[in-house]
Chains A and B, each alone.
Chain A
């Protein structure tokens, strides 16, 4: 049974900081299909449209009928552990620092045989278990064998924690605690076992509802932080940047309307200043220290979370300039992800539909509650996924976008 993760003691300054290394990341193009699904938390394998065979490892034609009509499809993770080992000698530097490393050979119920990372609580073969696909530190999908049913402290398994960004015992910065989403996140992070939560608030002389309650949580420290002010961001990073393990950027500026209904560029500029340049300022100031600490023990720096919007995928004209600022932020977040990847830091993008707040009051339900967004962020950190579409609206937009982005553009223009 996994023993619960102990709260790490103070860091010994004389000890070496473990440097970020990545597990082997090279994959063939076809194999990256598994990564695309795992990035959104799904376990998909190739299924042949002609003969229905499920196959693994991925290849470009069906091993049975040679058809190339192969689709990545959700598969059940149930299977049997046939054999297992614990590797004490590895040829790769990443694993050399992490042995012993448990591996299993699994016969999946739907057909193929898989080599998997094996959770410590899966009993010796022969043994029923469930398999899932997770992103490893290199951001590439790997298969993991888990106990068939959840067991206590499961997330604290040493190997599993290498794949996740669990907030337990980690130090978190929430960049804006004045919004309902920011406050819901702080509560959820505290509940998820975060060690310390810094909560940014711009214009600290203004009182907002809810902030005092959040500030009373024992884990929370309020910090003046204005993401539109380069000096404020730099000063905050100088103060706490070397300790932040997870950064959740909730700072957002949101106004309705598109181009024609408003004169001038002031609102659009303000949206860009928070939603796009704010992210850029934070990334420049906090990125380097986080990268350097990305392998620093069981509570290393691990993730960067962006609150984007489903409107980042395709413009919603009723909130046209806001959509544009979120599209810019999405593009920048992809750049940030590429720059964080060599250190193994995960960039998680959240694409909620309209949030149930004052800036979406004219939109009809369903709208997503701030608490639901907070829950989705915690789940994403625990599962280590990188793209999250929380709520029904986001799910539906995502489905329409995948189906045909051009059709979606017409639908949104008409709505």
Chain B
């Protein structure tokens, strides 16, 4: 196999968020536009200076990124649409970084935005994929709650994980969220509250499930030279992986594509799990956090429960995890949920966190996981980022 070229000289800058709301009467287009406006405002760039655009959104139909160029009055020479849900940011960054390295684009705006109307989530579920429509939705119409209930039930039975283990992650993320003004959940969560919450899809209870909402996230990808000349704080991309439909023969998902590619990721970055100062893991349900801790090499397979018992996961504690609160405490704004961790990691590493700062953060790991097409999530990916002066 050809050795992979490094992502040298690529800067990720200008982390922006269109604040989340539970429901909005705006369209997904509006959220993408408002993220773009923030990117321009905070970078000082003119709109036409953005010559690359990569968009992720569930609710743009009948439009795609193509229609958005006219909608937003842009003339990019590089355009991409990444319909990969929770893996959108990782995949978008990989592609945008290569475009910038190759000179196909100078500045790429990577944006995810989605709206949430009353009842739009139900419509999304019913038509999520052909397999979901034919073989999942007619079975109780529980949506991702039911799919992750299967995974959680199996994971708990085979690893000995307890609800309190998952609860610890949820409670820690809520603690992290309390200093983030944009988090939708603003009340402290206790383990007791977590444990007695109403069941949603056994063994999942209320605080195991993300709350759908509306919002947007975005960053700019450009060369480090360009970022420096614009005096923008930035992070470097040290390594990136993506994998789709990994381990198709596994009867149930107990591992994702990270397990296939993590050695490649860390080799490319020249770092290991122990070097990570913060983790931004895709967290629509806590079981997937546990799986990623294992697959990304923080502990052995099946040992995440013990690993969870040994760490605090709070922003200023051990193994800071989902420092903005993650989707479980900030909300899941459709495809923007896939960007939440990336944007937070860039904020932390560039010294501009919205809430509490991870002390001396130099390296971050950001993961993505997306698209429960039938019985499992198909897309997985991860990025290793470092502070721009590192």
Inter-subunit contact A90/B134 (CB<8 Å): no
**B155 to chain A: closest residue by CB:** A83
Selected contact of B154 from candidates A28, A91, A92, A125, CB within 8 Å: A125
Inter-subunit contact A86/B201 (CB<8 Å): yes
Inside 8 A of B150's CB, which chain A residues have their CB? 82-85, 103, 105
User: Given known contacts A83-B151, A87-B146, A88-B200, is B134 in contact with A57 (CB within 8 Å)?
Assistant: yes
Interface residues on chain B, size class: 35 or more
- In the complex, whether A107 has a CB less than 8 A from a CB of chain B is yes
Inside 8 A of A103's CB, which chain B residues have their CB? 139-140, 142, 146, 150
**B251 to chain A: closest residue by CB:** A107
**A89 to chain B: closest residue by CB:** B200
Inter-subunit contact A83/B154 (CB<8 Å): yes
- In the complex, whether B8 has a CB less than 8 A from a CB of chain A is no
Inter-subunit contact B139/A31 (CB<8 Å): no
Inter-subunit contact A116/B139 (CB<8 Å): yes
Contact pattern, B 127-140, Cβ under 8 Å of A = 1, otherwise 0: 00011011111111
**A27 to chain B: closest residue by CB:** B134
Inter-subunit contact A85/B149 (CB<8 Å): yes
User: Given known contacts A83-B154, A86-B202, A91-B143, is B121 in contact with A28 (CB within 8 Å)?
Assistant: no
Inter-subunit contact B135/A82 (CB<8 Å): no
**Which parts of A13-36 form the interface with B (CB within 8 Å)?**
23-28, 31
Inter-subunit contact B375/A113 (CB<8 Å): yes
Give Cα A336–Cα B134 distance, bound, in whole angstroms. 25
**Which parts of A99-114 form the interface with B (CB within 8 Å)?**
99, 101, 103, 105, 107, 113-114
Task: Pick the most buried of B126, B134, B204, B374: most chain A CB atoms within 10 A of its CB.
Answer: B134
- In the complex, whether B264 has a CB less than 8 A from a CB of chain A is no
Give Cα A24–Cα B198 distance, bound, in whole angstroms. 26
Task: Pick the most buried of B125, B133, B142, B149: most chain A CB atoms within 10 A of its CB.
Answer: B142
Contact pattern, A 71-93, Cβ under 8 Å of B = 1, otherwise 0: 00000000000111111111110
Selected contact of A90 from candidates B135, B141, B374, CB within 8 Å: B141
Give Cα A142–Cα B201 distance, bound, in whole angstroms. 20
Inside 8 A of B138's CB, which chain A residues have their CB? 23-25, 27, 136, 138, 140, 142
Inside 8 A of B139's CB, which chain A residues have their CB? 103, 115-117, 142
Give Cα A90–Cα B200 distance, bound, in whole angstroms. 9
Shortest B155–chain A CB gap in Å is: 9
Inside 8 A of B122's CB, which chain A residues have their CB? 91-92
Q: Interface residues of A, CB < 8 Å — how many?
A: 39
- In the complex, whether A56 has a CB less than 8 A from a CB of chain B is yes
Give Cα A99–Cα B139 distance, bound, in whole angstroms. 12
Give Cα A113–Cα B251 distance, bound, in whole angstroms. 6
- In the complex, whether B145 has a CB less than 8 A from a CB of chain A is yes
- In the complex, whether B4 has a CB less than 8 A from a CB of chain A is no
Give Cα A140–Cα B134 distance, bound, in whole angstroms. 10
Give Cα A393–Cα B126 distance, bound, in whole angstroms. 43
Inter-subunit contact B202/A27 (CB<8 Å): no
Inside 8 A of A25's CB, which chain B residues have their CB? 138
- In the complex, whether A58 has a CB less than 8 A from a CB of chain B is yes
Inter-subunit contact B202/A88 (CB<8 Å): yes
User: Given known contacts A58-B134, A85-B153, A85-B202, is B252 in contact with A24 (CB within 8 Å)?
Assistant: no
Inter-subunit contact B142/A87 (CB<8 Å): yes
Inter-subunit contact A115/B375 (CB<8 Å): yes
Inter-subunit contact B252/A82 (CB<8 Å): yes
**Which parts of B138-172 form the interface with A (CB within 8 Å)?**
138-143, 145-146, 149-151, 153-154, 157
Inside 8 A of B6's CB, which chain A residues have their CB? none
Selected contact of B141 from candidates A27, A83, A91, A136, CB within 8 Å: A91
Give Cα A84–Cα B139 distance, bound, in whole angstroms. 12
Give Cα A178–Cα B198 distance, bound, in whole angstroms. 57
Give Cα A87–Cα B122 distance, bound, in whole angstroms. 15
Inside 8 A of B359's CB, which chain A residues have their CB? none
Give Cα A24–Cα B139 distance, bound, in whole angstroms. 8
- In the complex, whether B67 has a CB less than 8 A from a CB of chain A is no
Inter-subunit contact B200/A26 (CB<8 Å): no
- In the complex, whether B199 has a CB less than 8 A from a CB of chain A is yes
Inside 8 A of A92's CB, which chain B residues have their CB? 122, 126, 137, 140-141
Inter-subunit contact A105/B135 (CB<8 Å): no
Inside 8 A of B202's CB, which chain A residues have their CB? 85-86, 88
Shortest B207–chain A CB gap in Å is: 13
Inside 8 A of A116's CB, which chain B residues have their CB? 139
Give Cα A24–Cα B141 distance, bound, in whole angstroms. 8
- In the complex, whether A401 has a CB less than 8 A from a CB of chain B is no
- In the complex, whether A95 has a CB less than 8 A from a CB of chain B is yes
Task: Contacts A28-B133, A92-B137, A142-B139 known; list 14 others, CB within 8 Å.
Answer: A24-B133, A24-B137, A27-B138, A28-B130, A57-B374, A82-B150, A82-B252, A85-B146, A85-B203, A88-B198, A91-B121, A103-B139, A116-B139, A125-B153
20 contacts between A and B (CB under 8 A): A23-B141, A24-B138, A26-B133, A31-B135, A56-B135, A57-B134, A82-B150, A85-B153, A87-B140, A88-B199, A90-B140, A91-B121, A92-B140, A95-B140, A103-B139, A105-B154, A107-B252, A113-B252, A114-B135, A116-B139
Which B residues lie at the A interface, using CB under 8 A?
Answer: 121-122, 125-126, 130-131, 133-143, 145-146, 149-151, 153-154, 157, 198-204, 251-252, 374-375
Question: Would you list the 5 A-B pairs with minimal beta carbon distance, nearest first?
Answer: A92-B141, A85-B149, A57-B135, A31-B134, A87-B142
